[in-house]
Amino acid sequence: MTNILHYLDEVKICPHCNQQLTACEAPPIHVGDGLGWGAEVLFICLNDECPVFVDGWDKIEEAYGHHASYRYMELPGSKEKNYMMVGNAGAFTGCIIDREEILAKDKEYAEHQKMIARLDTAEEEKDITAPLAVLLNEGAAKDKRRQACEILVEIANLECIDPIRNHAFRDPGLESGVGLAVAAVLKKNFKKECPHCAEIIKAQAKKCKYCQGDV
């Protein structure tokens, strides 16, 4: 992801309409098409008023007899002029690269890597933040999430139970493991969850102090 970012620092202007070119993800290449541009990013003039696009319809109609036009395009780090045939005004608008989105994803990824690194010392430091973050991250690797779950059992801090209970686990295998982990954390603290209101109460309680239900 990050290597796409340095392309985006480049500001390119369309020589035909003077509007800034838009960075788009290069479309997937069909083998045999000869359409490989050799770049991940294409800078395309998506201005519908651009003369290249406006005049292209008639030019292609005359030359080839079909309904299409052109968009002006440059490759990263190159001033070479390219013209790509497009069937409609919407072509390429679906692959516009969103710089903010890439930056946000990069930041999220870096944050996640930090949490993974913290797992090594979490148990010793009684740090539940990192293992919780990893366990509740649906995008994290399964073995890391299992490891995070084990660490939470070792630390046995009751504070981890609410965030876990409020999370929907997509992986049923992980979910049942988490259920056992919660039970282990409760047991280590001589607690249980009230079956009526789910509040955490003393293991030997006969009546829930929150809902007054018999337990």
Between residues 10 and 138, which has the closer beta carbon with respect to Zn ion? 10
The least CB distance from residue 55 to Zn ion, in Å, is 11
Q: CA dihedral defined by 175, 177, 178, 181, rounded to 10 degrees?
A: 160
As given in the structure block, the two tokens for residue 109 are: 């990824």
Between residues 55 and 124, which has the closer beta carbon with respect to Zn ion? 55
The least CB distance from residue 208 to Zn ion, in Å, is 3
Dist. CA 136–CA 142, nearest whole Å: 11
For the stretch 197-206, contacts whose Cβ atoms lie closer than 8 Å and that sit 24 or more positions apart, written own/partner, are 198/165, 200/158, 200/161
The least CB distance from residue 21 to Zn ion, in Å, is 8
Between residues 45 and 153, which has the closer beta carbon with respect to Zn ion? 45
Cα–Cα distances (Å) from 58 to 45, 68, 86, 164, in that order, read: 19, 9, 13, 62
Between residues 53 and 132, which has the closer beta carbon with respect to Zn ion? 53
Asked if residues 181 and 173 have their Cβ atoms less than 8 Å apart, the reply is: no
The least CB distance from residue 201 to Zn ion, in Å, is 7
Between residues 46 and 122, which has the closer beta carbon with respect to Zn ion? 46
Footprint of Zn ion (CB under 5 A): 14, 16-17, 45, 47, 50, 72, 194, 196-197, 208, 210-211, 213
As given in the structure block, the two tokens for residue 158 are: 């009751």
The least CB distance from residue 113 to Zn ion, in Å, is 40
Helices 99-125 and 142-155: crossing angle, nearest 10°? 40
